[in-house]
A and B are shown apart, each in its own frame.
Chain A
Amino acid sequence: MSAATESAMPKPGPAMFKPAIYAALGILVIAWPSIGNDYLTYMATLILINVIAVVGLNITVGYAGLLSLGHAAFLGVGAYTAALLLIAGVPLPLTIAAAAVTSFCFGILFGLPAVRIKGVHLAISTLALQFGFFFVAQRWVAVTNGDNGLQTPQASLFGFVFNTDERLYFLVLPFAVLACVAGSNLFKTRVGRAFVAVRERDYAAEVLGVNVIWTKLLAFAVGAAYAGIAGALLAIFLRLVNPDQFLVSVSVFYLTAVLVGGRGSMLGSILGAVFMTLLPEMLRVGASAIVSDVSGYVGFLATAREFLFGALIVIFLHVDPRGLVGIIGKLGGRIEFRG
Chain B
Amino acid sequence: MGSRGGTGVEMTAKDDILTVEELTLRFGGITAISQVSLQARRGRITAIIGPNGAGKTSLLNVISGFYRPQAGRVRFMGEDLLGKPAHARARMGIARSFQNIALFRGLTVLENIKLGAHSQLKAGIFAASAYWGPAKREEEKLTRWIDEKVIDFLRLKHVRDREIVGLPFGTQKQIELARSLVTQPSLLLLDEPFAGMNATEKAAMAEDIRRTVDSLGTTVVLIDHDMKTLMALAEYVYVLNFGKLIAQGTPAEVQANPMVIEAYIGAPLEEAS
Contacts and interface: CB of A to CB of B under 8 A. Distances in A.
A194 B90 CA distance: 14
Interface stretch (A20-28, A209-217, A235-243): A209-217
Given A203-B66, A208-B90, A189 B135 contact: yes
Taking each of A183, A209, A210, which has the highest tally of chain B beta carbons within 10 Å of its own beta carbon? A209
Interface residues of A, dominant DSSP: helix
B130 A201 contact: no
A337 interface: yes
A186 B125 CA distance: 8
A302 interface: no
Given A196-B104, A207-B96, A191 B124 contact: yes
B125 A222 contact: yes
A182 B129 contact: yes
B208 interface: no
A215 to B, nearest CB: 9
A204 B213 CA distance: 23
A305 interface: no
Contact of B179 (A182, A186, A208): A208
B242 interface: no
B158 A193 contact: no
A183 B128 CA distance: 9
Interface stretch (B4-12, B114-122, B219-227, B264-272): B114-122
A207 B106 contact: no
Interface size class of chain B, counting residues whose CB lies under 8 Å from the partner chain: 35 or more
B96 A7 contact: no
B106 A337 contact: yes
A188 B115 CA distance: 11
Contacts of A204: 98, 102-104
A208 B106 contact: no
Contacts of A201: 102, 104
Contact of B106 (A194, A196, A205, A218): A196
Interface hub of A193, A194, A207, A218 (most chain B Cβ within 10 A): A207
- Most B CB contacts (10 A, CB to CB) among A182, A208, A218, A338 go to A208
A209 B119 contact: yes
A289 interface: no
A33 interface: no
A192 interface: yes
Contacts of A78: none
A190 B163 CA distance: 18
A200 B105 contact: yes
B75 interface: no
Contacts of A4: 158
A6 B162 CA distance: 12
B201 interface: no
Nearest to B88: A209
B118 A338 contact: no
A321 to B, nearest CB: 12
Interface in A194-252: 194, 196-197, 199-201, 203-212, 218, 222
Contact of B163 (A7, A200, A206, A337): A337
Nearest to B165: A337
9 contacts: A3-B158, A7-B157, A183-B129, A193-B115, A200-B106, A207-B86, A207-B89, A209-B118, A337-B106
Given A200-B107, A205-B104, A337-B163, 5 more contacts: A189-B135, A191-B123, A191-B124, A200-B105, A203-B102
Interface of B: 64-66, 85-91, 95-96, 98, 102-107, 111, 114-119, 121, 123-125, 127-131, 135, 139, 157-161, 163, 179, 183
The list of the 6 closest CB pairs from A to B, nearest first, reads: A209-B90, A209-B119, A204-B102, A3-B158, A185-B131, A182-B129
